[in-house]
Structure 1
Amino acid sequence: MPTHRLVSPDRPANATLLLLASLYCAQGLPSGLIAHSLPVLLRQHGVDLALIGLLKLLALPWLLKVLWAPWVDRLASPRLGHHRGWILPLQGGIALVVAALALLSPAALFGSQLPLLLGLLLLVNLAAATQDIATDGLTVRLLSERWRGLGNSLQVGGYKVGMLVSGSGLLLVYDSVGWSLSMGLLVLSLLLTLLPIWRFAERRQLPFRPALAEPPGAGLLLRHYRGLLAQPGMWLWLAVLLSFKLGDALGSPMIKPMLVDQGWSNAELGRLTLLSSLVGIAGALLGGLLYARLGVLRALLLFGALQALGIAAMAALVQAGDNHALVYGLALFEQAADGMSTVALFAAMMRQCRAEHEGADFTLQASAQLLLGGLVGAASGVLAAWLGYAGLFLVAGALGAGVLVLLPLYFRRTLAVTA
């Protein structure tokens, strides 16, 4: 049995890093299938674009998981352990659903049985979203404050690797191996990522402490989140949390449309996207390592400034789409900065999580940040049409830089309260 103790002096053991990387990679596998592979396959089988658009609605459990997250924190399996008791059956269930898809005919699934396909994919997202609550809670408990940046590097990087495998990877082999074998390989990948959590002795190493959790029964949802919001400085932290990525959310959706308007082909955009994803993973890893050295405040300030600079620099690409070296240079810098800033923000979010409330506390913060970012991103096209691409990117960069003034204010007040 591998040990997950901390080493020298509090660095997580290699078994812990492998465990976390495997869990977040497992979450990316079904997401890549639904977000990247299936829209292509559905369209190739002549499915109407309006129906393909319904795939976006299947992500609804990821937004609604705050409603059941407190129960994931509160209920523990006496035999499997707390978080392990959720992760093992949920990921196993996802593998079973994908195995069932492998046994069905794609012609039928993409035709008369399309409602069945959508229903099964909704179950996959429901299970994956619930598993994410338990995985985040386990991550917070396993890692000390200093190394949570590295843990979130594994979260961002592992998730993107999983999406690449089931998205780009599946499409690359699909014509050669077909539907059933492609789904079979995905099932095998899901089962392989289960091995580290299967071998993790959670009951012995991280025993559940029900005395620290909210009491069960009616009102659990309200009590749980009311307790989170009652923490000192929490409302100011929410202002930091909701504003930190707003500049990126406003500007980044318009990068590819700008390049399309400048004549970039699908193949060129595909190569740029693939390389950008890999650089984003590297940026996330670098951000986690630097977080351990810089600490939370300096990491947020530095990475937030790089994030704002990266999105503002996109203004230099207006009318410069034929300069591929400049496009690649700025796009890759923006993705690296995005990876670093995301890791720092997620690590800072973990600082707000209370003992035995980790999964739901992290979920509420992540869902609020994701929802507001999505709403702001939805307005990016309107603002680009009004200001032009250059104006949009400069405004987004200024917004990203301006909100950083909240960081020292929050940390000063937090230190004053705890002193």
Structure 2
Amino acid sequence: MDIFIFNGGVLLKLIFAIGSFYFVQTLIGGIVFQAIPAWLRSHNVDLYTIGLVSLAMIPWTLRVLWAGGVERYRVTASGKIRSKQIVITGQVALAVILIGLSFIHENMFITLISLLILLSLVCCTSEIACDAYMIENLNSKSYGIGNGLRIGCGYLGMAVGGGGLIYLCDKWGWQFSLLVYSGLLLFLLLPLLLAPSINQLPVTEKSYQRPSLIKTLKQPMMLKAIVLVFFFEISGRLISSMLSPFAIDAGLSLENLGKVTSFGGAACGMLGTLSGMLFIRIIGYRWALLLATLFKCLSISCFIILSLQPDINPIGLIVSYLFFNYTFSVGLVCLYSFLTTQASLKQAGLDFTLFQCGAALAAGCSGYIGGIVAHYMGYVTLFNLTLGCALFVLIFLYRSSILKAV
């Protein structure tokens, strides 16, 4: 569907719908992985127990296992599409779970973890249909807008779900704050209910194909795309978790670091999101992704130069950090916009979920490897290793045929 042939009102409805459900997805992530640990610690729960909250990440890493089943329900043999219904049902379920969560106390930990895992399970399953909805209702020229909304609303949702809920819990209390958030989820159904959607596969896609993970993995272009996702994510994630410790070791105070990471990081992330959308519109997917990777190489090089200095300039450190956040968000918009073009309408949710699971695997490995390398070999080695991965991605993008068709 080409959104540029719509009148302004219809286009606006579609943008609000896509933005709202990506806002909800990351809002849930902020609640589970930021607000809940902070709330537990404020009630003197020990750190080991708080660490078990990470069990809620399990559904996100394993969802590719049931993505095929979701796709078989989402697209019927007759070509009927149920993406919108799945997203609406999932969002109502999330609101109900938040209501249940509001009655939990800090000493009911097993029940709390069970509800958090259920919350993540519903959220990540719903996102399979969210991704499919975006792919179905935008054409390839419009994927930059859709993925810009994904990243931009993601920043906003994480802030509201994490820091926002922490603030409200302090002011209004745990139960009332979660009830407010439950109401917010129900209110955010409105943009989706009012938005247009494709309810039937186009004629060119009508021949039924049973969604299959094995068939997807047998496609050479899909395998190249997964390799691209893995190394693209590693080339950013390897150092992202180590930048705050590096800044502290360089002499930056916790207060200043907090200001930079919260306000500055979010602002640069949003600016990068808008830049990524603009680059795609002006120079296309291939050159936008190449440009984003080149920017990433430059930002990593800044940290290499800083780490070689005996006395690190705090201004240079802050500028380098903000530039890295900018390049990282530009890259995400360009990468996910390209990946959207690789997903088949017949199993869009499954294809895109496979890409995201590859990204999650890369993020998990990167955090662990980055910590080991920084601890035993130092920051300089870590930054050089990351730059090597980024240069590999740059060469892969330039020489591979993967981007020449888009």
Same fold (TM > 0.5): yes
1:100 counterpart residue number: 100
Cα distance in 1, alignment partners of residues 402 and 37 from structure 2: 48
Aligned to 2:388: 398
SS at match of 2:346: coil
Looking at structure 2, the residues matched to 26 and 296 of structure 1 have their Cα atoms a distance apart, in angstroms, of 27
- Counterparts in 2 of 1:181 and 1:316: CA distance versus 1, 3 Å: farther
- 1:242 equivalent among 223, 226, 230: 230
Q: Is 2:242 the partner of 1:254?
A: yes
> How big is the shift at 1:304?
0.8
Q: 1:373 to 1:17 in 2, by over 3 A?
A: same
**CA distance in 1 between partners of 2:225 and 2:147 (Å):** 19
Partner of 1:7: 4
Query: What is the distance in 2 between the residues matched to 1:48 and 1:263?
Result: 29
Mark the CA change 1:42 to 1:19 in structure 2 (over 3 Å): closer, same or farther.
same
Go from structure 1 to structure 2 and tell me whether the alpha carbon gap of 1:391 and 1:88 turns closer, same or farther (over 3 Å shift). Answer: same
Question: Residue 110 of structure 1 aligns with which residue?
Answer: 106
Write out aligned runs for 1:208-223 (5 A): 208=201, 211-215=206-210
Report Cα offsets for 1:40-89 as digits up to 9, x if no partner. 111111111111111111111111110111122221499x9611111111
Instruction: Tell me how far apart the structure 1 counterparts of residues 324 and 343 of structure 2 sit (CA, whole Å).
Output: 29
Q: Is the 8 A contact 2:2 2:138 kept in 1?
A: no
With over 3 angstroms needed to count, the CA separation of the structure-2 counterparts of 1:268 and 1:295, relative to structure 1, is same
Indicate which of 186, 193, 199 corresponds to 1:206. Answer: 199
Question: CA 1:166–1:9 in structure 2 vs 1: closer, same or farther (change >3 Å)?
Answer: closer
Measure, in 1, the Cα distance between the counterparts of 2:324 and 2:256. Answer: 18
Shift of 1:211: 4.5
Instruction: Spell out, residue by residue over 1:93-119, the C-alpha distance to the aligned partner (whole angstroms, 9 max, x if none).
Output: 1111111222x25xxx211x1111111
2:373 is equivalent to residue 383 of structure 1: yes
1:90 paired residue number: 90
Q: 1:290 to 1:206 in 2, by over 3 A?
A: farther
Deviation at 1:359, TM superposition (A): 0.4
- Structure 2: how far apart are the matches of 1:238 and 1:322? 37
**Contact 1:259-1:321 at 8 Å conserved across structures:** no
Q: Is the 2:35–2:161 contact (alpha carbons within 8 Å) kept by the matching residues of 1?
A: yes
Structure 2: how far apart are the matches of 1:43 and 1:339? 31
1:7-406 mapped onto 2 (5 Å cutoff)? 7=4, 13-76=11-74, 82-102=82-102, 104=103, 109-111=105-107, 113-202=108-197, 205-208=198-201, 211-215=206-210, 224-274=212-262, 275-318=264-307, 323-406=313-396
Structure 1 residues 156 and 84: CA distance shift in structure 2, 3 A: same
Change (3 A) 1:347 1:50: same
- Separation in 2 of the partners of 1:236 and 1:77? 26
Post-superposition offset of 1:264: 3.5
5+ residue gaps, structure 1, are none
Q: In the TM superposition, what is the alpha-carbon distance from 1:285 to its structure 2 partner?
A: 2.1
Moved more, 128-137 or 269-278: 269-278
**Higher alpha-carbon deviation: 14-23 or 379-388:** 379-388
Deviation at 1:189, TM superposition (A): 2.0
Return the alpha-carbon distance in structure 1 between the equivalents of residues 175 and 72 of structure 2.
39
CA shift for structure 1 position 409: 2.6
Deviation string 1:213-264 (CA, Å, 9 cap, x unpaired) is 433xxxx6xxx12322333533333332322232212122210111222344
2 CA distance for matches of 1:61 and 1:299?
A: 32
Q: Does structure 2 retain, via aligned residues, the 8 Å contact 1:296–1:348?
A: yes
Per mean C-alpha deviation after superposition, the further-off stretch among 163-172 and 10-19 is 10-19
Change in 2 beyond 3 A, CA 1:172/1:9: closer
Secondary structure (helix, strand or coil) at the match of 1:206 reads coil
* SS at structure 1 position matched to 2:288: helix
Contact kept? 1:243, 1:403, Cα under 8 Å = yes
Distance in 2 (alpha carbons) for counterparts of 1:130 and 1:412: 28
Q: Structure 2: where are the runs of 5+ without partners?
A: none
Preserved contact between residue 374 and residue 381 of structure 2 (Cα < 8 Å): yes
Contact kept in structure 2, 1:23 and 1:135, CA below 8 Å: yes
Q: Distance in 2 between matches of 1:25 and 1:194?
A: 12
Instruction: Report if aligned partners of 2:14, 2:196 keep a CA contact under 8 Å in 1.
Output: no
* CA spacing shift, 1:62–1:213, aligned 2, 3 Å: farther
Q: 1:39 to 1:153 in 2, by over 3 A?
A: same
Match of 1:338, SS?
A: helix
- Residues matched between the structures, number: 398
Residue identity matched to 1:206: N
2:135, 2:170 → 1: CA distance?
41
Deviation at 1:271, TM superposition (A): 1.4
State the distance in 1 between where 2:220 and 2:357 align.
21
In structure 2, relative to structure 1, the CA distance for the partners of 1:213 and 1:305 (3 Å cut) is farther
**Structure 2 CA distance, aligned partners of 1:188 and 1:77?**
30
- 2:195 alignment partner, SS class: coil
Verify the 8 A CA contact 1:233 1:414 in the aligned structure 2: no
Name the amino acid aligned to 2:192: I
Q: Is the 8 A contact 1:279 1:336 kept in 2?
A: yes
The code of the aligned residue for 2:232 comes to F
